[in-house]
Amino acid sequence: MREWWVQVGLLAVPLLAAYLHIPPPQLSPALHSWKSSGKFFTYKGLRIFYQDSVGVVGSPEIVVLLHGFPTSSYDWYKIWEGLTLRFHRVIALDFLGFGFSDKPRPHHYSIFEQASIVEALLRHLGLQNRRINLLSHDYGDIVAQELLYRFKQNRSGRLTIKSLCLSNGGIFPETHRPLLLQKLLKDGGMLSPILTRLMNFFVFSRGLTPVFGPYTRPSESELWDMWAGIRNNDGNLVIDSLLQYINQRKKFRRRWVGALASVSIPIHFIYGPLDPVNPYPEFLELYR
């Protein structure tokens, strides 16, 4: 009689193979509509998804929305219509490695590249000489900080920022408390590729839900939309590479935190104090 562990192994191999080849979930009608109404442009051979809506006629105001980790521009869909009532152009993109944009691997993902993609999108739209309002969240906050740094340096071809509105995000490395899964993925070495392949909707939803306040947590259907965006183009396999932004933030703290000091443009910060990743009161005291 064969050893029991051999039998278990023979059974586990096909089950694991089947698990690793589970197809991504189908797009919900709402998410499919979001994709269908968007467009793509090419940045250095890579396809970047974006939304661009015309709103108030006669207004000169343009707002560019920068989403958080690990989701996409679809984060903004609930306030999209409201923004079109205030701004003439409302623009959002999926950063490289997120949502419907390309997710190359292996690839050195960086905040610097994401900021350059934002600049390239505005050149593509013919808006490179217009004054831009930025609205950012989480990962997008760091991209906004890099864009602000470039703006302050008066570098040619950079965005001209009219105003900046940040929302909950780890703009200060010293007060940032990443989740356990984030720590494992960004510093896991050989373990990271295994974890990204084993990640599923249950692990994702259990990990993400606690970062929301008790009265604003997403529904299960909304979590499935987020997961579908991640699984698109095998995005779960690049999460560990994307998370290197946490290490980049520490390395370039002086550059990015310094960009927020002594600025001549209006800056506003929307902060939910129940944020476990950027906890109250440490974060708010440092910001003040």
Name the burial class of residue 173, with classes exposed (0-12), middle (13-18) and buried (19+) by CB atoms within 10 angstroms of its CB. middle
What angle is formed at CA 189 by the lines to CA 173 and CA 46, rounded to 5 degrees?
A: 75
Give a yes or no: residue 36 inside a domain: yes
Give a yes or no: residue 41 inside a domain: yes
Give a yes or no: residue 3 inside a domain: no
| Segment 20-67, tens digit of pLDDT | 457 889 999 999 999 999 999 999 999 999 999 999 888 899 999 999
- Please count the structural domains in the chain: 1
Give a yes or no: residue 9 inside a domain: no
Q: From CA 268, how far away is CA 167, in angstroms rounded? A: 8
> Residue 128 maps to which CATH number?
3.40.50.1820
Tokens found for residue 167: 């929302």
- pLDDT band for position 15 (cuts 50, 70, 90): very low
| Segment 200-250, tens digit of pLDDT | 999 899 989 999 988 899 999 999 999 999 999 999 999 999 999 999 999
Which domain covers residue 224, as residue numbers? 26-287
Bridge partner residues of 269 (DSSP): 166
Give a yes or no: residue 4 inside a domain: no
Give a yes or no: residue 282 inside a domain: yes
Give a yes or no: residue 163 inside a domain: yes
Give a yes or no: residue 147 inside a domain: yes
pLDDT for the residue 17: 42
